[in-house]
Each structure stands twice: as structure tokens, then as C-alpha cells.
Amino acid sequence: MSRSIETADGRRIAFHQTAGKGPGVVFLGGFMSDMTGTKALHLQQWAERTGRAFLRFDYSGHGDSGGRFEDGCIGDWAADARAVIETLTDGPQVLVGSSMGGWISLLIGRAMPQRVAGLVTIAAAPDFTERGFWAGMDDATRDRLMRDGVVMRPSDYDAPYPITRRLIEDGRENLVMDRALDLPFPVRLLQGTADADVPAQWALDLLDHARGDDIRLTLVKGADHRFSSEACLGLTVEAIEDVLG
């Protein structure tokens, strides 16, 4: 059963925490996902087996947390992540960021590198509101978004979902690929070549853009965006153990 905290911004954030040794591992999920996904639960089981501290949570508007999804944006969700890390963990943590969680983990790493022991990203989607959503819209859709404040986007997984003007405009305030990105800790980037949501080129771009002494990219031929096969889950654990090692 999850517990919750209230952030300084008044948002109720649900979380599940496993006690153990540090550095702890914090899982940051993706856009419209929650902390009950395959990757989060697999990592919790690994943490319990190995005695490692582990934390998973839902951003506001996601899962068990308070708020409406359509009211949120990258800045809010990054603030949620930061609040959870600062309130519930001690010392440097290994951040595991999936998709949007990869972008948010990069924002955390830039804002408070002293609290990051290492970073593992899975199909990281930095700047996806701009490089994905906005870039993929035609002029008529962009005009409608700016005029009405929201457009609906079809989903391969569920019903259409809202993309708001606030999400796009706030995303521009939180870009990481348009300025220096120093990552002074071990970083492991994991990416499937058959990912239909995050192009493999984005992983290569991030590898090229980020600055650090210990950054590696693993491309998995044929792996999709979910990155949840037994082999992919095993690779994720190996990457975490490599960073911890």
C-alpha cells in the first residue's frame, strides 16, 4: 500500500519505499505511467533481494497521487521528483529514469548533482514536448493548441490524451539539449532500436551532448519502448549494479 507526502506546492504525491542500504535507488516513471509498472516492480523485487533502499512514486496527476493529469507539466513533475528525493532519502541516490523520467532525472542531476550517485536512463526522452509533440504537429494543430489551450493526441496504448499549451510552454523552460549538460557521475543510457516513441537517434544525441567522464550507451536491437522483456529488465539491473559498483 502506498503512502503520500504533500509538497511545498501543495501537491499530494503517493510513493512506496523499501528500506535498505545506500546509495538508494529512485525510479522515475514516464509520461502518463505510474509506479505499478513492470520495470518499477521488478526493480523493487531486486532491491528487496539485495537489501538496497528503493523508492518509487507517482507524479501529480498520475497513478495514486493527487491532481489532474492535464493540469501538470514538466516543471511540476520535476518539482515532485525533487520533493520526494529531498524528503524521503538521505545522501546521494541512483536515479533510474524511464522515458519522461529520463528527462526529469537529467533535470535533477543538473539541479542537485550532489544528491546523485549515478544515473540510469531507459529510453530517455529529454525535451520530448518540443522535439516530439510540437515538432510533430502541423500548423493547424499548433494554432488550435495556442488558441484553445489543449489538443487531444491519439495513443497507441489507450484513449486519446490531452496535450496542453502549458505543457508545451513549460517544456521550453526545462529543455536540457539546448545548453551545457554536465553529468559528473556514472551514467548508463539504455535504448531499444525498435522504440516507436523515442527514436534511437535521441539516445545518440544525448550521448554526444552530455559532458562527463563515465557515460555509456547500450543499444538493444529489436527492443521497444516498454523495455520490459526479461532480457531488458536484466540489462537495467546490470546497469544499476555497474553504477553502484
Cell of 104: 526529469
3-state secondary structure of 153: strand
Residue pair 26/217 in contact by the 8 Å Cβ criterion: no
- Find the catalytic residue in 99, 105, 127, 170: 99
Residue pair 27/39 in contact by the 8 Å Cβ criterion: yes
Q: Known catalytic residue: 62?
A: no
- Find the catalytic residue in 76, 80, 170, 195: 195
Q: Known catalytic residue: 158?
A: no
Residue pair 22/88 in contact by the 8 Å Cβ criterion: no
The span from the CA of 182 to the CA of 208, in Å, is 12
Nearest one of 110, 176, 168 to 137, comparing CA atoms: 168
The span from the CA of 88 to the CA of 15, in Å, is 10
Q: Known catalytic residue: 16?
A: no
Active site residues per annotation: 99, 195, 225
